[in-house]
Amino acid sequence: MRIFLDGKLVEKIDAKISVFDHGFLYGDGIFEGIRAYNGRVFRLKEHLERLWSSAKAINLEIPIHKKEMEKALIKTILANKLNDAYIRLIVTRGCGDLGLDFRNCTKPSSVIIIADQVKMYLEEFYEKGIGVVTVSTRRIRQDSLSPNIKSLNYLNNILAKMQAVRSGAAEAIMLNAEGYVVECPGDNIFIVKNGILCTPAGSEGALVGITRDAVIELAKNKSGVPVKEVRLSLYDVYTADECFLTGTAAEIVPVVVVDSRIIGDGKIGKITSKLIKEFKALARSSGTPIK
Ligand code: PXG
C-alpha cells in the first residue's frame, strides 16, 4: 500500500511522522473520512470544504491548495489501484516541542492521505440490523468544541463506543449535555415515525454529516418522504417505527434494538430499505471520477 505523505507517495512501512508532531502529542489536527465507489470519489467537494472549514476553525493553515489536495487524493487512490476505497485525509499542526504552544510548530503541517479497502461493519449488520445502547459518555458541549470540527481528538467518541461494545451492543447513542439524542461516535442517527424522517438538528450538537445530507436529499427529492431536523428524545427513538445510522464509513446501517426496546417490528424498515437502495445507486453513479 502506498501513502501520500507531505508531497510524496511512500510505502506503508515508510509512512512515519515525528513523535513531536502536535497531531500525535495533542490531537492537534483535523481529518476527513471519504469513500470512493465504482471509480468515483463520493462528495469530494463537500469533504474538502469541510476539511478547510475544520482547518479555519482551529487556525491551521493547510500547506497545499484544495485543487492540489484533490489531485494528491486521486493520485493516491490510483497508486493503490483501487476502484472502491476508504480514504483518510489527515492534516496535523506539524512538529513542535513538548509544550502546548502552537508557535513552536514551525514546520508546516503534515498532510497524509491513506487509501485502503476497509470493511467497517460485519455484513450481517446490514442484513439484520444492529442493537445499540445509550452510553454515559456525553457528546462534548458545542460551546467547548464545535462538533463540526473533525479534529484528531476522538477520545470522547472512542470511550462511548467502548462502553457500547463492552456491554454487547454494536454502537453507542450519545446524548448532549441536556440529555437529548445527538449521534453515535462516528455516525448520525435517524428515526422514522408515521412516515416522517427525523434526525437531530445540527444545533443539538451533532456533526452535520455528508452521508446525512445525502440521505435527507434522497428522502425529500426521490422518495417523497418528509424530513424534519428536530430535538430528539430517547422516548422518540424507543417509540420510532424505524431507526438507522449514517456515516461515510458505515454508509446506512439499520437499527432494530435500542436499549433493549425493539424498534418497530424488529426488522429493517420499509423507508430504511428504500433509502439504502437509493444511496447505493447514488454513490455508484455520482462523484468525482478517479481517472
Ligand atoms: N458523526 C461523527 C461524530 C463523525 O465523526 C459522522 C457523524 C458521519 O459523517 P459523514 O460526513 O461521514 O457522513 C462522523 C464521521 C469510523 C469513523 O471509523 C467514522 C467517522 C469518523 C471517524 C471514524 O467509523 N465518521
Of all protein residues, the one whose alpha carbon is nearest to atom 20 of ligand 1 is 186
Q: What is the pLDDT of residue 22?
A: 95
Domain 126-283 has CATH 3.10.20.30: no
pLDDT reading at 50 higher than 80: yes
- 212: Cβ below 6 Å to ligand 1? yes
pLDDT in tens, 239-291: 999 999 999 999 999 999 999 999 999 999 999 999 999 999 999 999 999 98
Atom of ligand 1 nearest to the CA of 188: 7
E-only strand ranges, the chain: 2-5, 8-11, 29-37, 40-41, 85-92, 111-116, 130-134, 171-175, 181-183, 188-193, 196-200, 227-230, 242-247, 251-258, 261-262, 288-289
Pick the CATH number of 2-116 from 2.60.120.920, 3.40.605.10, 3.40.630.150, 3.30.470.10: 3.30.470.10
Of all protein residues, the one whose alpha carbon is nearest to atom 8 of ligand 1 is 247
Of all protein residues, the one whose alpha carbon is nearest to atom 2 of ligand 1 is 186
pLDDT reading at 130 higher than 90: yes
For 36-64, give the DSSP string: EETTEETTHHHHHHHHHHHHHHTT---SS
pLDDT in tens, 67-100: 999 999 999 999 999 999 999 999 999 999 998 9
Task: List, by residue number, the catalytic residues.
Answer: 150
Contact 163, 136 (CB under 8 A): yes
- 188: Cβ below 6 Å to ligand 1? yes
pLDDT in tens, 192-214: 999 999 999 999 999 999 999 99
- 120: Cβ below 6 Å to ligand 1? yes
Q: Same fold for the domain at 2-116 and the one at 126-283? A: no
Of all protein residues, the one whose alpha carbon is nearest to atom 18 of ligand 1 is 249
Query: How far, in Å, CA of 222 to CA of 168, rounded?
Result: 36
Contact 143, 176 (CB under 8 A): no
Ligand 1 mutation pick, 48, 137, 187, max ligand atoms within 8 A of CB: 187
Four-CA torsion 137, 266, 210, 203, nearest 10 degrees: -50
Q: What is the pLDDT of residue 29?
A: 95
3-state secondary structure of 113: strand
AA identity, residue 212 = R
- Calculate how far, in angstroms, residue 105's C-alpha sits from the geometric centre of ligand 1: 28
pLDDT reading at 114 higher than 90: no
- 199: Cβ below 6 Å to ligand 1? no
Backbone angles phi, psi at 267, to 5 degrees: -115, 165
- 247: Cβ below 6 Å to ligand 1? yes
3-state secondary structure of 131: strand
- Calculate how far, in angstroms, residue 247's C-alpha sits from the geometric centre of ligand 1: 5
Closest to 138 in 3D by CA, of 120, 163, 121, 169? 163
Q: How is the chain split into domains, by residue range?
A: 2-116, 126-283
- Calculate how far, in angstroms, residue 187's C-alpha sits from the geometric centre of ligand 1: 5
pLDDT reading at 14 higher than 80: yes
Mean pLDDT over all residues of the chain? 94
Residue 99: all three cell numbers together: 509544550
Query: How far, in Å, CA of 204 to CA of 215, rounded?
Result: 19
How sure is the predictor about 39, in pLDDT bands with cuts at 50, 70 and 90? Answer: very high
Ligand 1 mutation pick, 188, 199, 213, 279, max ligand atoms within 8 A of CB: 188
How sure is the predictor about 120, in pLDDT bands with cuts at 50, 70 and 90? Answer: confident
- 209: Cβ below 6 Å to ligand 1? yes
Atom of ligand 1 nearest to the CA of 212: 13
Closest to 197 in 3D by CA, of 205, 207, 188? 188
